[in-house]
Amino acid sequence: MSYAHFRFKRLAALSCLLLPATGTVLAGEEINALHRQIQHMLLLQQNQEQQIKELERHLQHLEEDASDASTDNSGLLSSSTTTTSDGFQIGLSGLFSVGGSSIDNDTLEGLQAGAHDPKQNGFTVQNLELSMGGTVDTHFDAQTNIIFQIDANGETVVELEEAFFTTRNLPWGLQVKGGQYFTEFGRQNPQHPHAWSFVDQPIVLSRFFGGDGLRGQGVRVSWLMPTQWYSELYFGIQNPKGETATSFLNTPGEEIGGYTLIDRDARNFSDLLYSARWLNGVDLSETVSMNVGVSGLRGPNASGMSTDTSIYGADLYVKWQAVSSQHGFPFISWHTEILKREYSAGDITDFVHETLKDEGLFTQAQWGFKPGWIAGLRAEYARADGDTSADPLRDNRHRLSPNLTWYLSEYSKLRLQYNRDWVEHLPNDTADSLWLQMEFNLGSHAAHVF
Amino acid sequence: MRIIKFFSGLLLLISAFTSHAALQVVTTTQDLAAIAQAVGGKQVEVQSLTQGTRDPHFATAKPSMIRQVFGADLLLVIGADMEIGWLPPLLQSARNSRVQPGNPGYLDLSSAVVLLDKISGPVSRSMGDVHAKGNPHYWLDPRNGLRMAQAIATRLSEMDPAHKDDYQRRLNTFEQIMGTKLPLWQAELAPLKGKRVIAYHKSFIYLADAFGFQIIDEIEPMPGITPSASTLSTLVERIKTEHIGLLIMEPYYERRSANYLNEQTAIRMVVLPQSVGAQTDINTYFDLFDAIVATLNKVED
């Protein structure tokens, strides 16, 4: 609407209002009040005109779209329902890598112990993940992640990685999660490979939690505490058996520290895997936020009939994001985790028994220096007490990994990573590897989690 | 044991201090917060999850936000997929059924306005970051601001009927101020009317609609996609042949592309605050348009 047109209407409206008052002397105050009233009315009128215009536009749209049944034809009312109808979300993400190392494939498998790590000279399909989920009803959300991989022999492997429900409306900040899920221990273990900052899993996590990370069937309760900062307590119980519970009952026949695992089952509640985590989050300033967590695990292990394992960890994540940022850039993040394991190997009554003590640390920084571009550096080590120099899963190891990631869009990325390994169990102590990774995400929008 | 006692004591202390009488209103952006504060006055305590200095589309679900949403009685969102990257995980973690979509504590303000740029055909990600539900930058039309204020006042009155009159009174004031200011803004920006303008991102179409100028192209070849050299040279040609004089953009986008266009064509580049809080002196919804109008006016002089 043009300004001149507007002024004309203002005059017209004013005269309409003033006509009945002819012959009356209006006090200044009344005139002002009338002015305000007029402006108010004009605004309303303008709004109505706008609405009419928009309705016309909509009508036009509707007419245009009338033949297309798949389009959103509910017009003005549609926008009020859009956000409640998210429903069923489905997504497919793929991680592929190509690269090579100074060592051969068999030795490389000992270094790259994560199931999703690139571990062959040549090509690796690291992970193809089909995730489906959504809100079940007012009480539950549910999600399932199915992964497809191709192993070193070219065989396709399918795994039900996760399938769980979470509650939506329990009181007092409580939430229950049940099913098959990643144990909430530390920051990285529950993350899926496409959320990692590096192409491979930290050494210590592969050692303590196996190639697939620590996950299992169970239930956990978490409590968002009524503190003024974010503080959450997690307590969970899971089955201790299977290859995804490496430090616990694992699978019979596997070895750890020279002890062969027996076929042991959980017989009562004390034989289950217990986990606890306390996570705190604070904003240190407008631009810096921090997460600090401590986690603990206790469960049986299968080196004896009455043996068990304890794992403790602490994690820190700090992120700076510029006050003014485009697509979340620039930013700097720093993520560190330290873990210790005490593994009682062999029953007290056995001739040979001991407590195997292992530890490890990784610390990694990421610098998003311009939109879409991230430079990263990770340093890590893992070691164990005693002479473990010949054991690929318990020897002294150090690794330094610089990388560069380019997000072509929110849905695809390329990542180049160099690994320098110092490894006790290898004859010449070092290994150099270079990996190029590609990732795509199809389907539901990726979450921007902290 | 001592630790447990210490923490239970601490929790008691904290819960004693955090019991509020006012309605806890949490908003996804500072624009919503400013309007909610104007309408809610002292009956509400308003917190915004994101800052006006940042692109609200690319926020991350920080733990402090979980805490904020957990304590909210009313959650105000822009909607139209603006917060799709971070609000769903936040709502899941925050375990507050009052503010889940569908409940009275959840208000999607995109339902109060008419969205432009709705896409009726098939949408593909090869089209960039397109919002099929419509363009979500609708707060940049002051007339929409009024509709948002009306919707918020209605919802507050429903949730807190005891203060219905207060909300209505403040809404009236909001309408009066808008009634006074809008014609002034329109008068000041009258010279822009009908002008053809280029924007960085598809975010100023509502502003253009409100003040009668036209946005004919964007620096981004597709929403959310950074321009390449060839995109820019095509734009240079277009600016030259069609004599386009003005380029507007948000403060948080890179300036290199715009500077390049400016060097090549002498097009005037104007960085416009896009939200309350984008500059330290923009604290209310009216401040936002005062600042936008003043900035655009400077160029016209």
pLDDT tens for A404-432 read 999 998 889 999 999 999 999 888 889 99
Pick the CATH number of A91-443 from 3.40.50.300, 2.40.160.10, 2.40.170.20, 1.10.150.120: 2.40.160.10
pLDDT tens for A6-19 read 444 444 444 444 44
Question: Is some CB atom of chain B closer than 8 A to the CB atom of A9?
Answer: no
CB contact (8 A) between residue B143 and residue A82: no
Identify which of B51, B86, B95 has the shortest CB distance to residue A447.
B86
Q: Which two tokens stand for residue B89?
A: 């995980």
Angle between helices B285-300 and B142-159 (to 10 degrees): 180
pLDDT number for residue A445: 72
Local confidence band at B109 (pLDDT 50, 70, 90 cut-offs): very high
pLDDT number for residue B150: 97
Angle between helices B285-300 and B30-40 (to 10 degrees): 120
pLDDT number for residue A24: 44
Question: Is some CB atom of chain A closer than 8 A to the CB atom of B264?
Answer: no
pLDDT averaged over every residue in chain A? 85
CB contact (8 A) between residue A224 and residue B94: yes
Question: Is some CB atom of chain B closer than 8 A to the CB atom of A252?
Answer: no
Over residues A305-332, the mean pLDDT reads 93
Is A437 or A448 the better-scoring residue by pLDDT?
A: A437
pLDDT number for residue A84: 35
**pTM score:** 0.81
Res. A265: pLDDT tops 50 = yes
pLDDT tens for B217-257 read 999 988 888 888 999 999 999 999 999 999 999 998 889 99
CATH 2.40.160.10 residue window(s) in chain A: 91-443
A/B interface, count of CB pairs below 8 Å: 195
Q: Hey, of B8, B95, B111, B205, which one would you mutate to test binding to chain A, going by the most A CBs within 10 A of its CB?
A: B95
Residues of A within 8 A of B212 (CB-CB) are 2
Q: Give me the percent of chain A exceeding a pLDDT of 70.
A: 81
Question: Is some CB atom of chain B closer than 8 A to the CB atom of A80?
Answer: yes
Beta bridge partners of A293: A279, A315
Give the helix/strand (H/E) hosting A54: helix A28-65
Q: What angle do CA A332, A335, A336 make, to 5 degrees?
A: 145
Residues of B within 8 A of A46 (CB-CB) are 143, 182
Contact indicator for A261, A254 with CB cutoff of 8 Å: yes
Cα distances (angstroms) measured from residue A246 to each of A56, A167, A191, A261, A423: 65, 29, 18, 11, 22
pLDDT number for residue B7: 60
Contact indicator for A292, A315 with CB cutoff of 8 Å: yes
Distance in angstroms (rounded) separating the CA atoms of residues B239 and A164: 55
pLDDT number for residue B65: 93
For residue A269, the tally of other CB atoms under 10 A from its CB is 8
Q: Give me the percent of chain A exceeding a pLDDT of 90.
A: 61
Identify which of B60, B64, B180 has the shortest CB distance to residue A282.
B64
Q: Look at A86-95, A137-146, B88-97 and tell me which has the smallest mean pLDDT.
A: A86-95
Question: Is some CB atom of chain B closer than 8 A to the CB atom of A5?
Answer: no
CB contact (8 A) between residue B79 and residue A83: yes
pLDDT number for residue A314: 98
B residues 142-171 closer than 8 Å to A (CB): 143, 146-147
Give the helix/strand (H/E) hosting B285: helix B285-300
Closest residue of A to B120, CA-based? A71
CB contact (8 A) between residue A289 and residue B63: yes
CB contact (8 A) between residue A36 and residue B66: no
Identify which of B60, B97, B134 has the shortest CB distance to residue A169.
B97
Residues of B within 8 A of A450 (CB-CB) are 60-63
Identify which of A10, A61, A328 has the shortest CB distance to residue B58.
A328
Res. A262: pLDDT tops 70 = yes
pLDDT tens for A325-341 read 888 899 999 999 999 99
Q: Give me the percent of chain B exceeding a pLDDT of 90.
A: 71
Local confidence band at A45 (pLDDT 50, 70, 90 cut-offs): low
- The CA distance from B241 to the nearest CA of chain A, in Å, is 28
- What dihedral angle (degrees, nearest 10) is formed by the CA atoms of A13, A15, A18, A20? -100
Question: Is some CB atom of chain A closer than 8 A to the CB atom of B85?
Answer: yes
pLDDT tens for B130-145 read 777 899 999 999 999 9
CB contact (8 A) between residue A39 and residue B179: yes
Question: Is some CB atom of chain B closer than 8 A to the CB atom of A391?
Answer: no
Identify which of B14, B55, B175 has the shortest CB distance to residue A228.
B14
pLDDT number for residue A88: 85
Distance in angstroms (rounded) separating the CA atoms of residues A445 and B94: 19
Residues of B within 8 A of A88 (CB-CB) are none
Local confidence band at A61 (pLDDT 50, 70, 90 cut-offs): low
Q: Which two tokens stand for residue A314?
A: 């602490």
- What dihedral angle (degrees, nearest 10) is formed by the CA atoms of B238, B244, B250, B255? 60
Closest residue of A to B251, CA-based? A324
- The CA distance from A230 to the nearest CA of chain B, in Å, is 5
Local confidence band at B301 (pLDDT 50, 70, 90 cut-offs): low
Res. B16: pLDDT tops 50 = no
Pick the CATH number of B184-300 from 3.40.640.10, 3.30.450.40, 3.40.50.1980, 3.40.309.10: 3.40.50.1980
Identify which of A50, A291, A325 has the shortest CB distance to residue B55.
A325
CATH 3.40.50.1980 residue window(s) in chain B: 18-183, 184-300
* Residue A426, phi then psi, degrees to nearest 5: -90, 145
- The CA distance from B291 to the nearest CA of chain A, in Å, is 18
Local confidence band at A137 (pLDDT 50, 70, 90 cut-offs): confident
- The CA distance from A15 to the nearest CA of chain B, in Å, is 18
pLDDT tens for A185-225 read 999 999 999 899 999 999 999 999 999 999 999 999 999 99
Distance in angstroms (rounded) separating the CA atoms of residues B164 and B210: 30
Q: What angle do CA A65, A67, A70 make, to 5 degrees?
A: 75
pLDDT averaged over every residue in chain B? 90
* Residue B226, phi then psi, degrees to nearest 5: -70, 140
pLDDT number for residue A30: 62
B residues 225-254 closer than 8 Å to A (CB): 225-226, 251-254
pLDDT number for residue B225: 83
Q: Looking at the domain covering B18-183, what would its CATH class be?
A: alpha beta
Identify which of B64, B178, B186 has the shortest CB distance to residue A283.
B64
- The CA distance from B20 to the nearest CA of chain A, in Å, is 13
Over residues A96-117, the mean pLDDT reads 91
A residues 358-387 closer than 8 Å to B (CB): 370-372
Contact indicator for A380, A359 with CB cutoff of 8 Å: no
Residues of A within 8 A of B54 (CB-CB) are 321, 323-325
Identify which of B108, B143, B190 has the shortest CB distance to residue A80.
B108
Which ipTM score applies to this complex? Answer: 0.83
Over residues A120-149, the mean pLDDT reads 92
* Residue that has been written with the tokens 């060097």 in this structure: B263
